[in-house]
């Protein structure tokens, strides 16, 4: 009987991490996953059951934390591949940016060191468009994998964007200086949408949830979107393809969507279920004023009036990646929110 390949997925309780585990198990891999508390095990298993997994003999759990050294050697032991999806992703801007930067950077260091010491063949790190497309004054620039977020720009760069940029740069620096032959590929997703696997809210899908719950209006912002199932698929393609070694790949479905366009998609397809979705675009001054009172809006202000686009050509050409459309990603998110009772029809 052929031995199954071991893969470690960090952050298994997360939105993307759970989908990566789901696809790996469906494809016949043996998966280990890290969670911050062993109490999260039940929630992860429930998500996987909702994704169609019925047996769990090929899944094991390791309790670890990005800010601590404990258990990382056990996590990577006997693994050929590592998908490092774990990273802090808050819905509000922290008072101290180091709350995000330190665990993102040091966590990446810990995972890379443990993987190298365990002779892991390849690690795929989940970075973000946050490390590619910020700190630029241009409103309509098309970004590629050659671009990096400008941390010293006059244009404001938020703590989350700094954390992802510094963590990704740390990954490339580590491989160059200390990798000892271990291979690295990096995935840079834009805004991740798609089906949730449990009745838990996700920072990634908050935009759709807020639209369905009803708002006074929508801000004049646009961003790229991609379905979580396609991001998980791209991780596995980057894990397996020889051509992915030493490369970063933008994960984006297509043209950027404005929040107004997302609202229109929901309204045109969901009928009465989307009756609370707003149609009015709020003036920029009002959003800026509201951000003074509502911390969750602070991250919106720098993007007002901008339409940052990203190219997915590299992933399509090298890894033969074929993502779902923007519309599919938006609607799949909404339908799953209804299915798990996070939004009432």
The structural domains of the chain, with segments of one domain joined by +, span 6-196+225-255+309-324
Helices 159-178 + 98-117 axis angle, to 10: 20
Beta strand extents in 11-86 (DSSP E only): 30-35, 59-63, 81-84
Tell me the CB-side half-sphere exposure of residue 129, using CA atoms within 13 A.
24
- What pLDDT does residue 96 have? 82
CA-nearest of 25, 23, 21 to 9 is: 21
Residue 180 backbone phi and psi in degrees, to 5: 50, 40
- What pLDDT does residue 1 have? 47
Using left for φ > 0, alpha for ψ between -120 and 50, and beta otherwise, residue 341 falls in left
Residue 62 backbone phi and psi in degrees, to 5: -130, 130
Structure tokens at 43: 């929630």
Q: Which segments in the chain show pLDDT lower than 50?
A: 1
- What pLDDT does residue 91 have? 55
Asked if 311 and 144 count as a contact pair (C-beta separation under 8 A), the reply is yes
H or E stretch covering 26? helix 15-26
Cα radius of gyration (the chain): 20
- What pLDDT does residue 97 have? 87
CATH superfamily of 6-196+225-255+309-324: NAD(P)-binding Rossmann-like Domain (3.40.50.720)
Which residue carries 């468009």 as its tokens? 129
Asked if 132 and 149 count as a contact pair (C-beta separation under 8 A), the reply is yes
SS3 content of the chain, % helix, strand, coil (to 5): 45, 15, 40
- What pLDDT does residue 89 have? 65
Which residue carries 């997703």 as its tokens? 189
d(CA 186, CA 85): 10
d(CA 311, CA 143): 6
Find all residues with CB under 8 Å of 1, minimum gap 6, and list them.
none
d(CA 203, CA 127): 16
Structure tokens at 155: 């244009």
């Amino acid at each position: 009987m052929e031995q199954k390949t071991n893969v470690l997925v960090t952050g298994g309780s997360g939105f993307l991490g759970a989908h990566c585990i789901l696809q790996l198990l469906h494809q016949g891999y043996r998966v280990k996953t890290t969670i911050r508390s062993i109490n999260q095990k039940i929630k992860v298993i429930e998500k996987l059951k909702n994704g169609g997994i019925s047996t769990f003999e090929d899944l094991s759990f390791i309790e670890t934390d990005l800010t601590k050294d404990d258990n990382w050697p056990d996590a990577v032991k006997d693994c050929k591949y590592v998908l490092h999806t774990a990273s802090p992703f808050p819905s509000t801007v922290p008072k101290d940016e180091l709350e995000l930067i330190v665990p993102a950077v040091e966590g990446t260091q810990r995972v890379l060191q443990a993987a190298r010491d365990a002779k892991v063949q390849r690690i795929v790190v989940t970075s973000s468009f946050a490390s590619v497309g910020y700190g630029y004054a241009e409103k309509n620039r098309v970004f590629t994998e050659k671009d990096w977020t400008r941390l010293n720009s006059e244009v404001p760069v938020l703590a989350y964007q700094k954390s992802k940029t510094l963590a990704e740069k740390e990954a490339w620096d580590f491989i160059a200086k200390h990798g000892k032959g271990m291979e690295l590929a990096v995935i840079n997703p834009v805004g991740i949408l798609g089906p949730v696997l449990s009745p838990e809210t996700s920072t990634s899908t908050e935009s759709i949830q807020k639209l369905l719950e009803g708002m006074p209006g929508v801000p004049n912002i646009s961003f790229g979107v991609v379905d979580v199932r396609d991001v998980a698929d791209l991780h596995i393609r980057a894990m397996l393809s020889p051509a992915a070694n030493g490369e970063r790949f933008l994960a984006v479905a297509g043209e950027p969507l404005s929040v107004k366009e997302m609202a229109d998609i929901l309204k045109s397809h969901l009928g009465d279920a989307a009756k609370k979705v707003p149609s009015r675009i709020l003036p920029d001054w009002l959003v800026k004023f509201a951000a003074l009172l509502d911390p969750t809006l602070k991250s919106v202000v720098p993007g007002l009036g901008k339409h940052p686009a990203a190219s997915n050509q590299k992933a399509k050409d090298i890894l033969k990646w074929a993502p779902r459309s923007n519309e599919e990603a938006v609607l799949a998110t909404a339908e799953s929110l209804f299915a798990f009772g996070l939004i009432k029809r």
